[in-house]
Structure 1
Amino acid sequence: METTSSNAQMLPTRAEKTKSILYMVVCATLWSIGGIFIKMVPWNALAIAGVRSAIAAVIVYAYIRHKKINLKFVKSAFLSGAFLSGIFLCFVVANKLTTAANAIVLQFTSPVFILILSAVFLHRKCRKGDLITVVATLAGISLFFFDQLSPGGILGNCFGILAGLMVACAYLVVGEVDEETRMTGILLGQIFTAVIGLPALFFTEISVTPSAVISMVILGIFQLGIPYVLFGLAMKDGSALACNLIGAIEPLLNPVWVFLFTGEAPGFFALVGAGIVIIAITLWCIWSDRVSRLQEAE
């Protein structure tokens, strides 16, 4: 009886789960404003990424100090930071070169890259449902290139796909790590991006207008810094499936904000492809979770 009681206390309560869901909803909604504010800053992509991450690094570090989390500068934290930096850089570049819808949906393909990389490098067996998801998602991705895109738009799509690959690599390299390693990796990712991007402020033409400054502050604090803190809190008591599914709010809302404020809209084929990608990955998350639960029950 004592063991059962102890285990029950360790499980998150309904209130904690509800709070986790709310954290993730706010997190994904804040992430979704990235496209519109990146479009509003007339700077070089590297400069935007550098300033955004420099501001976010201050927010993340303040949270780490407030919670008295010990930084762990281990190999997995550095690798996590490197891949996170790749995500931040690729996402901003993609937003500058292609539509916001293309950039975020193509990054959302990361679960498919996890399946592919796991099969190739970790020799994990793919289930039939995994293969169907990979094929459906790749078919959806291919539709993004059927629209009449400029060479820059095609390159932007490639950076969006690369961002998805970076997300997958970060997941596979780090896996399940403790809070100290995870937060150290997040902080390092912001610092690496700032170091790479900030020099662009001095080598590219930068127009320091009130609109640009306000947009950068919003990007650094509300679109990148605070959401990563909320994501950590959501993952503490919420299930990975719930966080993944709620995270789908980002690719759904991101292009909506951009369309409302700038009039930018994805092409017909990209819109169809986005629907295929989001539906395929969402259904795969639900199916994969059910399969795992059945296997654990056996």
Structure 2
Amino acid sequence: MEVSRRTGVLFVFIAAVLYSIGGLCIKVIPWSGIAINGGRTAIALVVIGAFLAATKHPPRLNRWIFLGAVCVFGTNLLYAVANKLTTAANTIVLQFTAPIFVIVFSLLFWHKRPRRLDLIACAVVFGGVLFFFVDSLEMGGGLGNFLALLSGVSYAGVFLMNDMPDSDALSSVFWGEVLSSVTGLPFLIQETEFPPTAILSLVVLGVFQVALAYILLAIGLKTTPPVMASLVSGIEPVLNPILVAVFYQEYMGPFALIGAAVVIVGVVGYNVIQARQGAKV
């Protein structure tokens, strides 16, 4: 499926909005993070497999595609487990170090020097995220915070999937869900409580927050540069804690509202300037 640069950016943005429901859905499910991850990715695997079959896109596999799959698997697992060990705000703000790692990895492995605009945008957006969570961010070195930070590293790899040699982002997503399902389902079958709310939340996670979001992201990354994609996804750390605050009563303070404005202005401003410059990164 071929898309324009503008459509690709839109797909990345929609994917980030879908990702943002993860914090709330995971919070309301009374299972371990790894069990939740196994269940949601098993559902996602069916949806993604159906999409690949419908588009006649058989999953490929080579070492680069497998590396992308490991990044998808790591992001899935670490995010789900961290959400159970720390607050949704802590998890998403630490995962959103991803744009920084995208720039670092691009420089180290592809020798792509970041543009000044990229660096400024990263500073503004990341600063806004920190400001957004100044009331709740706990950098005490807990296990949940550490895993959330690691998820930022693996999430950066997801944005770089299309930059790898002989890559295929959709195949990486497919195999990443296979890894997630195989490792998580044994923990899911050990759970003893299966309330309707948990089942519904798991289906929402699998179909929308994982499958549809990853499909849109994989397509969007074909025309959206990694740094831009990771910055466009800045809407996720704003929406995620807002949903958790509204429906799960993890409330935000006044600084959070200021931080939200900074993130949104940073992301929108970056893309407006990018469009005016007509630059390619």
TM range (shorter): 0.7 to 0.9
Residues 141 and 24 of structure 1, relative CA distance in 2, 3 Å threshold? closer
Residue 109 in 1 paired to residue 97 in 2? yes
Shift of 1:218: 1.4
Structure 2, gaps ≥5 residues long = none
Structure 1, gaps ≥5 residues long = 1-10
In 2, distance between residues paired with 1:66 and 1:39? 33
Match of 1:29 in 2: 17
2:216 to 223, 226, 230: 230
Shift of 1:256: 1.6
Residues 122 and 21 of structure 1, relative CA distance in 2, 3 Å threshold? closer
Residues 17 and 274 of structure 1, relative CA distance in 2, 3 Å threshold? closer
Match of 2:198 in 1: 212
Normalization by structure 2: what TM-score? 0.78
The one-letter code of the counterpart of 1:259 is: A
Residues 150 and 168 of structure 1, relative CA distance in 2, 3 Å threshold? closer
In 2, distance between residues paired with 1:214 and 1:83? 27
The one-letter code of the counterpart of 1:247 is: S
The one-letter code of the counterpart of 1:207 is: E
Match of 1:186 in 2: 173
In 2, distance between residues paired with 1:125 and 1:151? 30
- Cα-Cα RMSD: 3.8
In 2, distance between residues paired with 1:26 and 1:277? 16
Residue 90 in 1 paired to residue 48 in 2? no
Q: Is the 8 A contact 1:101 1:266 kept in 2?
A: no
Residues 280 and 24 of structure 1, relative CA distance in 2, 3 Å threshold? closer
Match of 1:259 in 2: 245
Q: Which has the larger radius of gyration?
A: 1
The one-letter code of the counterpart of 1:251 is: P
In 2, distance between residues paired with 1:141 and 1:28? 15
SS in 1 for 2:168: helix
Shift of 1:123: 4.6
Aligned length: 279
In 1, distance between residues paired with 2:137 and 2:9? 38
Normalization by structure 1: what TM-score? 0.74
The one-letter code of the counterpart of 2:170 is: M
Shift of 1:192: 0.6
Residues 277 and 96 of structure 1, relative CA distance in 2, 3 Å threshold? farther
Q: Deviations over 1:81-106 (max 9, x none)?
A: 01110000111122212222332233
Match of 1:69 in 2: 57
Q: Deviations over 1:211-249 (max 9, x none)?
A: 21121111111221122223345456x655886565333
In 2, distance between residues paired with 1:158 and 1:214? 29
Q: Deviations over 1:114-170 (max 9, x none)?
A: 112333455544555555556666766777997577799843233222212112234
Residues 119 and 267 of structure 1, relative CA distance in 2, 3 Å threshold? farther
Shift of 1:59: 0.5
In 2, distance between residues paired with 1:170 and 1:234? 12
Q: Deviations over 1:65-95 (max 9, x none)?
A: 1111122111111110011100001111222
